[in-house]
């Protein structure tokens, strides 16, 4: 009975805390500006299925993609087992579905065990790639400290989780073969991996010891799952959840198209209209608009969802021409900075109310001007991102703020803009000479 109560409390706290965290993340994301992303639903489902579920873009690099798929499949399929664990935990049963499902039960658990072994291999590979091989994109300076720890922590947790699964099933296998399992019956449970390694590892352990190992595995498993669930919202691993909405809300336009700023259109129309009343006051309820983005709240909610979804894999940065040639710009850092700042602003608003202002901003305190001016708008980062994140649109909005609100830009660009305004070309040529090429030899 005590076990049931402890379990029930753990479950409620586990899910409750997760729910609370999710609502915080949601309210942070909704601090962003509106952007419409719910047209063409069929196309959106298609992209989500291919890119998030099918991990299509990962397969540009097949080996890590395959290993990642093992880890992901193991993770998803293991959750089926969770249903039984929760049912057992709340009713005090043991392997509740075993008898009802019969051969299918054996098949499912066997399948989970095989995936777990594959996931184990993948995890070891990923850990060594990160820490021993020191793959450049996984060892850049923006990952120093917490991001690196975060990545390793989750991989180690995965290994521990897999160990718990095999403790649970392995010890139960030995108990069952001795007719001492809490599951009635005798012989072998017949699970693919644990029926082999169970007897080999735990064969000589006493009955009492076996029960202890089995329970440790069982409680360990569920504890890890709830731990993981609640760790997610603080970690880059949140992508296993957010990859789905993030790809669904993908930008469906051509990548070259920068969004149109309607606030500017209104003003330009007024400027170009000879009949407009230049002294007409702006409508009283018009909120003072800021052009471009100074801080995270000036970005769209999709930019903010992108930031939470970022896996910090660095595929964007490793394909970025500016980064490859030693410039400060790293599109991954743009995403990480956006997320860090958003968490800070979100906390601030929750503590101090809507008008929270800590005097800091995304541009300046997190992202420097030097970074954003190094971008060639080549879209390589957008192309590469396995979860359809768009770092470029954040860069552009930061530029817009600097240029239109602060008139801050590299001096050559000031000249270029003046030329366009004065003579309709980015260089100093007279518009009257535009067709001269026709008669030049």
Partner 1 sequence: MSVLKVPTMAEMMAQGETPDILFWVGCSGSFDDRAKKITKAVVKILNKCDVKFAVLGTEESCTGDPAKRAGNEFTFQMQAMMNIQVLDGYEVKKIVTACPHCFNTLKNEYPELGGNYEVIHHTQLIQGLINDGKLSIEGGGTYKGKKITFHDPCYLGRANDVYEAPRALIEKLDAELIEMKRCKTNGLCCGAGGAQMFKEAEKGNKEINVERTEDALETSAEIIATGCPFCNTMMTDGVKNFNKENEIQVLDVAELIANAADL
- Binding of residue 50 to partner 1 (CB under 8 A): no
66-74, 334-342, 346-354, 403-411 -> range binding partner 1 (CB under 8 A): 403-411
Within residues 304-323, the interface with partner 1 by CB under 8 A covers 319, 321-322
Is residue 401 within 8 A of residue 264, CB to CB? The reply is no
**Partner touching 165 among ligand SF4, partner 1, none, CB below 5 to 8 Å by kind:** none
- How would you label 17-53 residue by residue, b for 16+ Cβ within 10 Å and e otherwise? ebeebeeebeebbebbeeeebeeeeeebeebbeebbe
DSSP letter for 52, please. I
**CB 404 → partner 1: shortest distance, Å?**
6
- Binding of residue 331 to ligand SF4 (CB under 6 A): yes
Given the structure tokens 């009949």, which residue do they identify? 275
26-34, 131-139, 152-160, 398-406 -> range binding partner 1 (CB under 8 A): 398-406
Residue 322 burial by Cβ neighbours in a 10 Å radius (0-12, 13-18, 19+) = buried
- Binding of residue 334 to partner 1 (CB under 8 A): no
Nearest CB to ligand SF4, comparing residues 174 and 293 = 293
Give the residue among 202, 142, 144, 127 at the shortest CA–CA distance from 172. Answer: 202
- Binding of residue 21 to partner 1 (CB under 8 A): no
- Binding of residue 313 to ligand SF4 (CB under 6 A): yes
Question: Which of helix, strand or coil describes residue 354?
Answer: coil
Please spell the DSSP secondary structure of 172-214, one letter per residue.
Answer: HHHHHHTT-SSSS--S----TTHHHHHHHHHTTS-HHHHHHHH
- Binding of residue 342 to ligand SF4 (CB under 6 A): no
Nearest CB to ligand SF4, comparing residues 165 and 316 = 316
- Binding of residue 389 to ligand SF4 (CB under 6 A): yes
State how far Cα 332 lies from the chain centre. Answer: 12
Question: Which of helix, strand or coil describes residue 75?
Answer: helix
The tokens for 412 are 């050559």
- Binding of residue 307 to ligand SF4 (CB under 6 A): no
300 phi, psi to nearest 5 deg: -85, 160
- Binding of residue 320 to ligand SF4 (CB under 6 A): yes
179-187, 247-255, 308-316, 339-347 -> range binding partner 1 (CB under 8 A): 247-255
- By CB under 8 A, name the binding residues for partner 1: 60, 253-258, 260-261, 264-265, 267-269, 271-272, 291-292, 319, 321-322, 324-329, 370, 373-380, 382-383, 396, 399-404, 409-410, 412-413, 415-417, 420-421, 424-427, 429, 431-438, 440-441
- By CB under 6 A, name the binding residues for ligand SF4: 310-316, 319-322, 329, 331-332, 335, 375-381, 384-385, 387, 389, 391-392
């Amino acid at each position: 009975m005590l076990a049931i109560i402890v379990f029930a409390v753990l479950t409620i706290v586990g899910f409750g805390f997760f729910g609370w965290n999710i609502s915080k993340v949601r309210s942070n994301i909704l601090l962003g500006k509106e952007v419409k992303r719910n047209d063409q639903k069929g196309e959106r489902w298609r992209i989500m299925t291919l890119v998030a579920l099918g991990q299509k873009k990962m397969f540009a690099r097949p080996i890590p993609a395959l290993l990642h798929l093992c880890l992901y499949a193991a993770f998803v399929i293991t959750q089926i087992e969770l249903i039984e664990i929760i049912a057992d935990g709340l009713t005090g049963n043991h392997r509740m579905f075993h008898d009802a499902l019969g051969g299918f039960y054996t098949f499912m658990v066997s399948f989970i065990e095989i995936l777990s072994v594959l996931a184990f291999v993948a995890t070891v590979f990923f850990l060594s790639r990160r820490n021993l091989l020191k793959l450049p994109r996984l060892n850049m300076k923006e990952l120093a400290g917490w991001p690196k720890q975060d990545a390793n922590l989750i991989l180690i947790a995965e290994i521990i989780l897999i160990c718990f699964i095999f403790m649970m099933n392995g010890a139960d296998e030995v108990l069952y073969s001795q007719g001492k399992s809490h599951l009635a019956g005798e012989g072998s449970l017949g699970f693919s991996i644990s029926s082999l390694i169970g007897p080999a590892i735990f064969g000589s352990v006493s009955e009492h010891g076996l029960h202890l190992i089995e329970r440790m595995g069982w409680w360990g498993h569920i504890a890890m799952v709830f731990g993981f669930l609640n760790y997610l919202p603080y970690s880059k691993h949140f992508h296993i959840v957010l990859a789905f909405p993030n790809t669904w809300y993908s930008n469906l336009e051509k990548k070259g198209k920068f969004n149109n700023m309607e606030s500017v259109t209104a003003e330009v129309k007024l400027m170009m209209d000879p009949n407009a009343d230049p002294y007409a006051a702006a409508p009283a309820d018009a909120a003072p608009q800021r052009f471009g983005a100074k801080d995270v709240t000036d970005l769209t909610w999709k930019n903010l969802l992108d930031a939470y979804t970022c896996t910090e894999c660095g595929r964007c940065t490793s394909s970025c021409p500016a980064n490859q040639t030693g410039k400060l710009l790293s599109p991954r850092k743009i995403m990480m900075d956006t997320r860090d700042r958003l968490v800070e602003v979100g906390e601030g608003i929750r503590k101090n109310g809507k008008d929270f202002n800590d005097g800091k901003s995304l541009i300046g305190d997190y992202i420097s001007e030097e970074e954003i001016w190094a971008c060639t708008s080549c879209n390589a980062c957008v192309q590469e991102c396995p979860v359809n994140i768009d770092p470029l649109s954040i860069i552009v909005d930061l530029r817009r703020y600097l240029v239109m609100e602060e008139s801050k830009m590299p001096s050559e660009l000031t000249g270029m803009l003046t030329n366009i305004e004065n003579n309709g070309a980015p260089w100093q040529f007279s518009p009257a000479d535009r067709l001269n090429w026709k008669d030049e030899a």
